[in-house]
Amino acid sequence: MSEPTTPAAAAPSSASSLTIDLTGKRALVAGVADDQGFGFAIAKALAEAGATVIVGTWPPALGIFQTLLRRGKMDASRAMPGGGLLEFEKVYPLDAEYDVLADMPEELRENKRYKEHGDTTIDGLVQRLKADFGDEPCLDIVVHSLANGPEVKKDLLETSRKGYLSAVGASAYSNVSLVQRFGPMVRPGGSFLSLTYLAGERVIPGYGGGMSSAKAALESDTRLLAFEAGRKWGHRVNCISAGPLASRAASAIGKIAAMIDYYRENSPIREDVTAREVATLAAFLASPFGTGITGAVLHVDKGYHAMGAAPDRAMGSWRTGE
């Protein structure tokens, strides 16, 4: 008869057993054009965990992004904990508003910021990957860090049909297209991830132009894509709902500083959300520790989403009966 296992023997041998390890994995992060946003932070976190990282960059921003990389202007943010700099395996042009080249208007195809790059559509990126890595699945992680609403500063009542559909197409359907077209290129058990915002669930005045509708669609699609991609390929599909961040892209919304201040003052934890906090969750979801999670919208906002009313003086008087 064997001796009973003691608590000491049953304990993990070391803390390293819970280290996120993405060694041997390859990630595609779509929507990186600078070092300020969530996309860059996620790319860096994945690289820190051992993954090799490819990025897709909007063609009009690609030249500037590559110049900044080449001249070392982003070296401080690219610094890796163990030394050295974050390196991208490939930097590809990508305009995710278009699935195939035939969808892109001729005037845009002939634009000098596009013409030199050839096919910058989602299918064009698929073909570039096949040319560089072969026809066999070559990815493990795909991150959708893309959003655009040309009329985001307009109230929904003032939004045009064109502006509304553009927001939904660029910010939500682009994720459907990524899963659809990259699903076969991702190895079994792959992870797809997108980024949303609370405006998909709650009213955020000033977040207009159809962008709130786009985020709601993105979250709804996450659930259905999780089912379909899970059954078809065994992939997981999740979404992170992040609090406001003062990135360059967020400046298009306007009043981003006021939004950040409001979140901080009215959240259970009175701190600003950081890109790093979003990025580490992304790395977790892509790792073996996240294999049981799919079809989820996970909030990283210091608990703001849980609040039903602002904890101001009026609420204080309700509690005390004053």
DSSP state of 185: G
Closest CA to 294 of 233, 240, 198, 223: 223
Residue 4 has pLDDT above 70, yes or no: no
Reported as a single tens digit per residue, the pLDDT across 54-105 is 999 999 999 999 999 999 999 999 999 989 999 999 999 999 999 999 999 9
Residue 181: count of CB within 10 angstroms of its CB: 17
% of residues, the chain, pLDDT over 90: 84
CA separation for the pair 234, 25 (Å, rounded): 16
pLDDT at 246 (0 to 100) = 79
% of residues, the chain, pLDDT over 70: 89
DSSP state of 300: E
Residue 8 has pLDDT above 60, yes or no: no
**Positions marked catalytic:** 197, 207
Q: What are the sequence ranges of the domains in the chain?
A: 22-304
CA 188 to chain CA centroid, Å, is 21
Residues 124-147: what's their mean pLDDT?
97
pLDDT at 9 (0 to 100) = 39
Residues 275-282: what's their mean pLDDT?
98
Residue 291 has pLDDT above 90, yes or no: yes
Number of residues that this document lists for the chain: 322
Residue 112: count of CB within 10 angstroms of its CB: 7
Residue 257 has pLDDT above 90, yes or no: no
Answer yes or no: are the C-beta atoms of 74 and 181 closer than 8 Å.
Answer: no
Strand partners, 27: 53, 141
Of 3-17, 47-61, 64-78, 121-135, the one with minimum mean pLDDT is: 3-17
DSSP state of 251: G
CATH architecture for the domain at 22-304: 3-Layer(aba) Sandwich (3.40)
* Interacting residues of 215 by C-beta distance below 8 A, sequence separation 6+: 171, 172, 196, 197, 199, 200
Residues 149-170: what's their mean pLDDT?
96
CA atoms within 13 A on the CB side of 190: 26
Task: Estimate the share of the chain in helix, then strand, then coil, as percent rounded to the nearest 5.
Answer: 50, 15, 40
* Interacting residues of 119 by C-beta distance below 8 A, sequence separation 6+: 101, 127
123 burial type by CB count under 10 A (0-12 exposed, 13-18 middle, 19+ buried): middle
Reported as a single tens digit per residue, the pLDDT across 205-241 is 989 999 999 999 999 999 999 999 999 999 999 999 9
Residue 11 has pLDDT above 50, yes or no: no
DSSP alpha helix (H) spans, the chain: 7-10, 38-48, 59-70, 75-78, 106-109, 112-115, 122-133, 161-168, 174-182, 211-233, 256-266, 275-286, 313-320
pLDDT at 22 (0 to 100) = 98
Closest CA to 27 of 192, 272, 189, 196: 192
pLDDT at 161 (0 to 100) = 98
Of 203-207, 239-243, 293-297, the one with minimum mean pLDDT is: 203-207
Q: Model-level pTM?
A: 0.90
Closest CA to 145 of 218, 235, 246: 218
